[in-house]
Amino acid sequence: MTIHLIERAKKFQERTAILTPKGSFSYSDLFQQSEQVAKNLLHSSPDLKEKRVAFLLPSDFSHVKVQWGIWRAGGIAVPLCTSHPVPELEYIVQNSGASTIVTNNDFIEIIKPIAERTRTQIMLESSFCTQINSPELPLLSSKRRAMILYTSGTTGRPKGVTSTHKNIQSQIETLVKAWKWKQDDCILQILPLHHVHGIINILNCALWSGATCEMLLNFNSKVVWQHFVQSNLTLFMAVPTIYSKLISTWEESPPEQQQFWSKACSKMRLMVSGSAALPVQTLEKWKRISGHFLLERYGMTEIGMALSNPLEGKRVPGYVGSPLPGVKVRLVNENGHVVEPGIPGEIQVKGPNVFSEYWQRPKETEKSFQQGWFKTGDVAILENGIYKILGRNSVDIIKSGGYKVSALEIEGILQTHRDIKECAVIGIPDPEWGESVAVALVLKTKTVFQWDTFRKWAKSQLAPYKVPVHHIQMKILPRNAMGKVNKAKLANNF
Ligand code: MCA
Ligand code: AMP
């Protein structure tokens, strides 16, 4: 079988697939150049046979063609994040057992030592030959593993969520159907490309549909407003923090500018929010500014999207709607029994969208399912046929800026610092970031401690969104009778 997503590109030929500040690329360009990438990766072998290929590239055409090239060669794509420090990148390269890292000259100095230590081959994207003789590209079953995305869990270091081509296709198809994607759509991509929101909901839904994905290297509030004005966008999707930042920029601007920007939003047909709870206040402010009632949906790396407010019909603030086509959702209590409407329960999900496994963690994979249903760890309630997310069943998972971070992972890293005796990390409510990372530190005796220096060190170890922004020093951490840190009590100290 061929990869349906990629075969479809043949239908769209000279239509614009990717638009970047550097130029525009058609579906033919993407099809041909991803074939070259695949042939370079294959060299003389007929099939990468699920070899992991990590890639560290900017959010532009090179990223897209390499992602497709890895798939076409039969490999598993492992996207790396450009803002991650070396230890985070190295963990992913090591854990996924990548055989190759594809990168460019901007990142080569970061990648070289990682590649040396992990004995991984580096390939420069710019050095891929255009004329390479190699056998036909392999035919792939839809059960073939396609991608590993790293996500924080309640235990230890991030886990590799492994999805097959079938999973990816169904995650795309359900959204294309529900939100009526079409060829004439054009979407702005400003999210990181190592998570489902950017990869599936934005980039590959656009490519499946023959639409245009306009890519910016990163998020900048003013630049996004300018693109609302100058580009022919029909769709916009982002996390609540981004809407909050766009609102702040709009509020700080002179009235003529505000009017101009607000008017530009009227040409769009849909604006979506997700990855974290959308505060009703943000929804209302955005409606006043843009005229758009944000469509809120719920998803997770392991399942893609599961619940969505309707494209047409009533969207209820604070609710995430109903199951997407082909996705089964149920709510279950602590005893594993399905609950009645009106009673809170854990969201469990079943369907072709659900991932295949945590990479090389069979026990954790098994534990995360109940009779074939994936246990999300999110608690919701069903009221009047629609779902409302109430929170998570673990205090150790924090959502900040749309990123999921694990308190335990951060604690594990911070505790390696020479001044720290022990520490406890929690998320505290933040109007802009949803939650922000806070840490209670117990220092070793006779330590002259400087928070700024400590933070600088933490930034060298952890992704920017995992670095604590608030701290307190304590003589002793509050613990319960079992010796476990009482995080609910700790939160009162910030
Ligand atoms: C960055 N900073 C933060 C945080 N992140 N401070 C507090 N909390 C944070 N979470 C600080 C940096 O340290 C820096 O400070 C300053 O903010 C600017 O950093 P920068 O990285 O440039 O920030 P930004 O570009 O403004 O980032 C904000 C952002 C980003 C665009 C909202 O967080 C983002 O792209 N979020 C989306 C993540 C996402 O796509 N999640 C989807 C996963 P200093 O200057 O002092 O160093 S969830 C998913 O995929 C599921 C399936 C789903 O449902 O969608
Ligand atoms: P991730 O593991 O990064 O894919 O993040 C998935 C998590 O984001 C889910 O388990 C939820 O906790 C959270 N999430 C996603 N969408 C929403 C939403 N609309 N409302 C509340 N939480 C959400």
Half-sphere exposure of 286 (CA within 13 A, CB side): 27
> What percentage of the chain carries pLDDT values higher than 90?
92
Q: Which has the minimum average pLDDT: 61-75, 122-136, 261-275, 305-319? A: 122-136
Instruction: Tell me what pLDDT residue 445 has.
Output: 76
Q: How far is it between the farthest Cα atoms of the chain?
A: 69
Ligand 1 centroid from CA 197, angstroms: 13
Q: Is 210 left (phi over 0), alpha (psi -120 to 50) or beta?
A: left
Does position 446 have pLDDT exceeding 90, yes or no? no
Mutate to test the pocket of ligand 1, among 81, 188, 219, 349 (most ligand atoms within 8 A of CB): 219
Residues lining ligand 1, CB < 6 A?
83, 191-192, 195-198, 218-219, 239, 241-242, 274-275, 299-301, 400-403, 433, 436, 464-465, 469
Tell me, in angstroms, the distance from the centre of ligand 2 to residue 129's CA: 41
Distances (CA, A) of 224 to 173, 288, 427, 484: 27, 18, 28, 45
Q: What is the pLDDT of residue 59?
A: 97
Residue 135 confidence (pLDDT) above 80: no
Query: Structure tokens of 381?
Result: 């309630």
Looking at all shown ligands, the one closest to residue 201's CA atom is 1
Closest Cα to atom 20 of ligand 1: 464
Can you give the pLDDT at residue 2?
80
Helix runs in 406-450, H state only: 407-414
For residue 132, pLDDT beyond 90: no
Query: Going by CA atoms, what residue is nearest to atom 55 of ligand 1?
Result: 275
The number of the ligand 2 atom at minimal distance from the alpha carbon of 301 is 4
Ligand 2 pocket residue status of 146, Cβ below 6 Å:
no
Among all ligands shown, which has an atom nearest to the Cα of 390?
2
Give the pLDDT band (50/70/90) at residue 448: confident
Contact between 361 and 159 (Cβ < 8 Å): yes
pLDDT for residue 44 is more than 90: no
Give the residue, by CA position, lying nearest to ligand 2 atom 15. 275
**Atom from ligand 1 closest to the CA of residue 190:** 35
Determine if ligand 2 sits within 6 Å of the CB of residue 298.
Answer: yes
8-state DSSP, 487: H
* Pairing assessment for the beta strands 212-215 and 16-20 based on DSSP bridges: parallel
Strands of 201-254 (E only): list them. 212-215, 235-238
pLDDT for the residue 373? 98
Predicted pLDDT of residue 235: 98
Q: What is the pLDDT of residue 156?
A: 76
Query: Average pLDDT in the 47-75 region?
Result: 98
Higher pLDDT, 269 or 393: 269
Which token pair is 324? Answer: 């997407």
The string of DSSP codes covering 240-268 is HHHHHHHHHHHHTS-HHHHHHHHHHGGG-
Please compute the mean of the pLDDT values over residues 461-485 and round it to a whole number. 94
pLDDT tier at 130, thresholds 50, 70, 90: confident
CA-nearest residue, atom 39 of ligand 1:
402
Taking residue 469's Cβ as centre, other Cβ atoms within 10 Å add up to: 14
CA distance 172 to 289: 30
Strands of 304-308's sheet in order across? 23-26, 16-20, 212-215, 186-189, 235-238, 270-273, 295-300, 304-308, 322-323
Using CA positions, which residue lies closest to atom 14 of ligand 1? 464
Q: For the chain, give the mean pLDDT.
A: 96
Per residue in 246-294, pLDDT (tens digit) is 999 999 999 999 999 999 999 999 999 999 999 999 999 999 999 999 9
| 370 token code pair | 């109940």
* pTM exceeds 0.85: yes
